Structure 1
Amino acid sequence: MTTSDITPRTLPATADNALLAEAGTGTRVELRTVVKDYGATRVLHGVDLDIAPGEFVSLLGPSGCGKTTALRVLAGLERATEGRILLGGSDVSSVPTNRRDIGMVFQSYSLFPHLRALENTAFGLRRRGVGKKDAAARAADALDLVGLGHLADRFPHQLSGGQQQRVALARALVTEPRVLLLDEPLSALDAKVRVQLRDEIRRIQLRLGITTVFVTHDQEEALAVSDRIAVMNAGRIEQIGTPEDLYLRPATAYVAAFVGVSSVVPGTIVGETVEVWGIPLPRRTAEGVAPVTGEVEVFLRPENVRLAGAGDAGVDAVVQESTFLGSSRRTLVHTADGSLVQVQHPVSERVEFGDRVRIALAPEPVVVRARD
């Protein structure tokens, strides 16, 4: 890692950069009941997605959930079996990739090893017939935008991984596409560079006002940069909403389990509440999801579980481990019924392995699912 990978940068002023000076208001992107089959296997099951102009939307989910396939269909790299793709209200379902006016950044940098950073960035412009001088000037603006103007003459092997990915980003932006597509662009980078480049992509996206679709399996990444997140499961969108909506108001057990950290403990539905260790908690219900009854599994967020003080109502537990997180501690405890529960608490509350404690639950709505 080099110093330039982690040093915060100041973006150029609008008047000093043609890309920023000509930034538009973004393009609306729509996937309408998109189905994708590979032979007898259906990978996308009628995906509907409406992305507002200038919005940053992440497709989040585990490997094999269909998020990259959805992005490739949007890019035109795959043809939808059914459904339509609209950009700015125009149906581009049959339009080839090179005529959809999109920029795309992949996990692999895909830079030409024999071309310098400036030449790699200008490559798409030259292919479009832009003159050498104009292409070089616009490529220089794009490299300035990603903080690499001073490395324009470097070959890819002379750049770090983070710097190579910035060149790939500059190459995608230099053609001033209507839509930017990012397919796991940060997964090959180390943690510190990954966070720094993630935040930089978001700052640039906001400055340009470009509609962006970002594919990732990393929930922290999606929560940090997105206007909205579409959580995908087995080729369907399980829930779409703001990061706050998904974390605080998950519509399904799948979303509760995938977004954020949750402990899964036994409970029993009693009327409009669910009892956990005899403690009544409000339960969250989602429109279109069949209600469950009887014995259930309950999802508890760590911040809604605390170490009970002397005289407080609570549940007996034994400490298994405790982790220092800087501003707080997260402690794993084992209850008498065999549940493992994550507890988030102040660093001043120190516990050790084997300590006997009591835990209390905040009266926050919880997501439940039927017990197998």
Structure 2
Amino acid sequence: MTTADTPARALPDTAATALAPSASSGVELRGVVKDYGSTRVLHGVDLDVAPGEFVSLLGPSGCGKTTALRVLAGLEQASAGEVRIGGRDVSGVPTNKRDIGMVFQSYSLFPHLRALENTAFGLRRRGVGTAEARRRAGDALDLVGLGHLADRYAHQMSGGQQQRVALARALVTEPRVLLLDEPLSALDAKVRVQLRDEIRRIQQRLGTTTVFVTHDQEEALAVSDRVAVMGAGRILQVGSPEELYTRPANAEVAAFVGSSSLVPGVVTGATVEVWGRRLPLLAAADEGPCEVFVRPENVRLVGAGEEGTDAVVEQTTFLGSIRRSLVATAEGSHVHVQHGADLGLAVGARVRVRLDDIAVLTRPVAG
């Protein structure tokens, strides 16, 4: 039996074929502004999502990502700008006429309806006959691995199972665009990862254009074709997960995507001096003192006589295949170092660290 804690079983292609949208549509936000009274929460947002693409809106709470999704869905009216689906301006079109499916953080299942009935609800509202609606709802539940739970009520299912039903309900109408607003944040860590992978698998099989809102960077990087990082109501950078991680456009993106330590450096021309070595800059920076973003995997433990800087181990954490240790360097920086799990470092041990020869991003010294 499939449960919330185990992946869905392999499914026949017929379920996916039956639910594939007749034509996925591209999505465009053009100069979208959203004001609540005197407060502006979206500052001219521009975004293009290609047909069949999976794009995540990633950012901290309050950055505007959910508001952007709600404007796209028609649940909020933009103060300025355009929303286009399939090349058509839908800014004045109500939500139920936009041919979209939505999944929210809360499952929002009807407690008096069984899983099959919950899934078929949107079809019945559209005038689809009872037999056809039940057949299509059954296909949708099969697609999310819950065909065997079609007769269960919401209170008889786990949180992960309820969210799968919510996903089936969104997919059963064969929408051109699927919108997901923090759909996994209420689930425990293991179920969240499993359902995250299920959503990506289903999206790839159906080819449905998908916009996914999350504050979890690992989630966004794991499932997306591209990620739009948002901050303070603006899109800071759009790119593939690899581009965002290895070539962040600015310090704000570097600070949010991935794990970084900050160490002092001095910019001269197109390089920065860090721990006695010169490294190229990812982006131009003003000359003089700065702070340098350093990834744990780009810090190496070296021998006492090698190039680098002295440090003292303050903490070490076993993470299965690797260890991550926190060291305090001679100039007072706290730096995370990633190394093999077989190397156990005692707290208080003296070590020496250096940076890989990679391009780095900097920011001005605070204050």
Superposition TM-score tier, normalisation by shorter sequence: over 0.9
Determine whether 1:111 maps to 2:105.
no
Determine whether 1:241 maps to 2:239.
yes
Q: Deviations over 1:34-75 (max 9, x none)?
A: 000000000000000000000000000000000000000000
144, 152, 170: which one aligns with 2:150: 152
- Deviation of 1:337 after TM superposition, in Å, equals 1.6
Determine whether 1:57 maps to 2:55.
yes
TM-score normalised per structure 2 = 0.97
- Deviation of 1:19 after TM superposition, in Å, equals 2.8
118, 127, 137: which one aligns with 2:135: 137
Q: Deviations over 1:156-207 (max 9, x none)?
A: 0000000000000000000000000000000000000000000000000000
How far apart in 1 are the matches of 2:160 and 2:4? Answer: 6
How far apart in 2 are the matches of 1:129 and 1:103? Answer: 17
Retained in 1: the 8 A contact 2:16–2:205? no
How far apart in 2 are the matches of 1:315 and 1:3? Answer: 53
Identify the residue that residue 315 of structure 2 maps to in structure 1.
321
Question: Unaligned 5+ residue runs, structure 2?
Answer: none
- Deviation of 1:244 after TM superposition, in Å, equals 0.1
Taking a change above 3 Å as real, the CA distance of residues 133 and 18 of structure 1, as seen in their structure-2 partners, is farther
SS of 2:263 mapped into structure 1: strand
Identify the residue that residue 96 of structure 1 maps to in structure 2.
94
- Deviation of 1:311 after TM superposition, in Å, equals 2.8
Root mean square deviation of aligned Cα: 1.3
- Deviation of 1:293 after TM superposition, in Å, equals 2.0
Identify the residue that residue 335 of structure 1 maps to in structure 2.
329
SS of 2:4 mapped into structure 1: helix
How far apart in 2 are the matches of 1:240 and 1:292? Answer: 25
Retained in 2: the 8 A contact 1:332–1:341? yes
SS of 1:5 mapped into structure 2: coil
Identify the residue that residue 9 of structure 1 maps to in structure 2.
8
How far apart in 1 are the matches of 2:149 and 2:78? Answer: 40
190, 193, 198: which one aligns with 2:191: 193
Taking a change above 3 Å as real, the CA distance of residues 205 and 48 of structure 1, as seen in their structure-2 partners, is same
Determine whether 1:44 maps to 2:42.
yes
Retained in 1: the 8 A contact 2:105–2:185? yes
281, 300, 303: which one aligns with 1:306: 300
TM-score normalised per structure 1 = 0.96
Determine whether 1:19 maps to 2:2.
no
Q: Deviations over 1:140-161 (max 9, x none)?
A: 0000000000000000000000
Question: Unaligned 5+ residue runs, structure 1?
Answer: none
237, 252, 255: which one aligns with 1:254: 252
334, 348, 354: which one aligns with 1:354: 348
* Identical-pair percentage: 71
- Deviation of 1:360 after TM superposition, in Å, equals 1.1
- Deviation of 1:215 after TM superposition, in Å, equals 0.2
How far apart in 1 are the matches of 2:4 and 2:219? Answer: 18
- Deviation of 1:310 after TM superposition, in Å, equals 4.3
Moved more, 344-353 or 254-263: 344-353
How far apart in 2 are the matches of 1:184 and 1:228? Answer: 17
How far apart in 2 are the matches of 1:230 and 1:99? Answer: 26
Moved more, 5-14 or 112-121: 5-14
Taking a change above 3 Å as real, the CA distance of residues 24 and 318 of structure 1, as seen in their structure-2 partners, is farther
How far apart in 2 are the matches of 1:226 and 1:292? Answer: 34
How far apart in 1 are the matches of 2:277 and 2:89? Answer: 54
Retained in 2: the 8 A contact 1:11–1:145? no
